[in-house]
Amino acid sequence: MPARSPFMQSDSPRSPSAQRRRQIQRRRATALAALGLLVLVVSIIVDGGSGTSRRTPPSPRAAERQRIHIAVSAARHRLAIEDRAIDHVLSYTPFVTSGGGRKREVALTFDDGPGPYTPQVLKTLHKVHAPATFFEVGFMERWFHASTTQAIADGNVVGDHTEGHPKLGLLPRPQQRDQIVSQAEWLHKLGAPRPRLFRPPFGSFDARTFRVLRHNRMLMVLWSVDTNDYRQPGVKVIVRRALQGAKPGGIILLHDGGGARSQTIAALPEIVKKLRERHLKLVTVPQLMLDDPPPRGQPLPHYLSGG
């Protein structure tokens, strides 16, 4: 008889006692699995319950509304004064291309955001303590509304640049109204102040646009300096163009959306530095309207398609 190997089973797999053992093992495994599942479910419920009360952060939209509320409350007095300044300007002109030029103030304005480059633009402006005015496209808020919140929290002003960036001059009045009002709705959802400033995409507008703006108490903000930065002509060219036309009361057109904006971002510190070397103070457009309102009877610029 061969010696029994210590690794050999004492019973053959088919013996009645082996079958019984396997049955017990299966039952144990099933019971353990059920217990494990129960522990998992209970832990999820308990964790979820405690998380709701202690750890779950508010939804981004609620958090953003709160940030904007805090920023707007802190600036309530200034915003009310600027609102009245815009009302005053609207009492004698429906559009502006610049301030009056009596004070050494200029306004940087950014179109076509919010977008993937807006956080960097905001960071750069914040670093050099320069406020700006952003004319935003409503459609982009779906993805980039956090930048709108950041812009307002930083003390910038957000204006209306339509919902979908069309040439308004080609649209009937109801569609023009929808384009302007839809963007304002996005800002309302975020808890931002109602936009008082509007900039027409492509500088395209007509008499119907002015009727819609009048109804919504909005001032059309054009510009006196066009850097054409959206064509990405190079950092030096953007800086040179911004400075060439920068005079007291100037409104400088830049872009934070509508394509790659690395050149604009790289140009910004130099633009701000050089403007300050000329003793020009950087302000938002409402601040410019308050400090240095435009003269009556500003002509509509010839470079625009509107009329």
Residues with a catalytic annotation lie at: 111, 255
Element (H, E) at 135: strand 133-136
Distance of alpha carbon 113 from alpha carbon 135, whole angstroms: 7
Per CB under 5 A, residues contacting Zn ion are 111-112, 201
CB burial of residue 268 (10 Å; 0-12, 13-18, 19+): buried
The set of residues, in sequence order, having a beta carbon less than 8 Å from that of 272 and lying 6+ positions away, is 108, 125, 128, 130, 282
Rounded (10°) CA dihedral 297, 195, 107, 97: -20
Distance of alpha carbon 248 from alpha carbon 79, whole angstroms: 23
Given a contact cutoff of 8 angstroms between Cβ atoms, the answer to whether 226 and 242 are in contact is no
For Zn ion, the closer CB: 191 or 200: 200
- Residue closest to 125 by CA, chosen among 291, 290, 256, 280: 256
For Zn ion, the closer CB: 60 or 259: 259
- Residue closest to 72 by CA, chosen among 191, 188, 186: 191
Q: How far is the CB of 282 from Zn ion (least distance, A)?
A: 21
Element (H, E) at 79: helix 76-90
* Helices then strands, each counted (H, E), the chain: 10, 9
Q: How far is the CB of 254 from Zn ion (least distance, A)?
A: 11
SS3 306: coil
Given a contact cutoff of 8 angstroms between Cβ atoms, the answer to whether 168 and 201 are in contact is yes
